[in-house]
Amino acid sequence: MRNYIFELPFEVRDYECDLQGIVNNAVYQNYFEHTRHKFLLSKNISFSELHKKGIDAVVVKVEISFKHSLLPDTPFISKLSLKKEGVRYVFHQALFSIDNQTLFASARTETVILNQGKLGFTPELDAIVQEAETLS
């Protein structure tokens, strides 16, 4: 199993389920995004504060594998690891059941940093990646 460096507990909310009675596929991206932003916050980096300074983390590619449908009232754990590939910050993420026995979904998300609209990077984020790569 991948060495995840951050975990966040979640619980399915009824309004996130669609007419099939399961969490709608698009909502998984909400879960994954919120996990990334909470990870950054845990490193004192605020996505919204960055944006105010003209620095935007932008998703350029996402791949999601849906393994088991998330059902109403289900608690789950969202896990994350982070690497850098060229100018891209690549997040590997997964949603597991509380007992870690069920993988609901996994995702690979490539992001870039736009600084005042131009491809850039942030020393703070690079420090985190270096720390992350050491851990994972």
Please identify which residue in 65, 75, 98, 127 interacts with its own copies, judged by CB under 8 A: 65
- Sign of the Cα pseudo-torsion (45, 5, 68, 61, in order): positive
Nearer to its own copies, 115 or 136 (CB): 115
Give backbone dihedrals phi and psi of 2, rounded to 5 degrees, phi first. Answer: -55, 150
> H-helix or E-strand containing 105?
strand 103-115
Instruction: Select 2 or 34, whichever has its Cβ closest to its own copies.
Output: 34
Q: Kindly state the tokens that stand for 51.
A: 């944006």
Q: Is 61 in the site for its own copies (CB under 8 A)?
A: yes
18 binds its own copies (CB under 8 A): yes
Active site residue 18: yes
Within the chain, residue ranges assigned H as helices are: 25-42, 47-52, 123-135
Whole-number minimum distance, CB 57 to its own copies, in Å? 9
**Which of the stretches 28-36, 81-89, 92-100, 124-132 binds its own copies when contact is defined by CB under 8 A?**
28-36
Residue numbers annotated as active site? 18
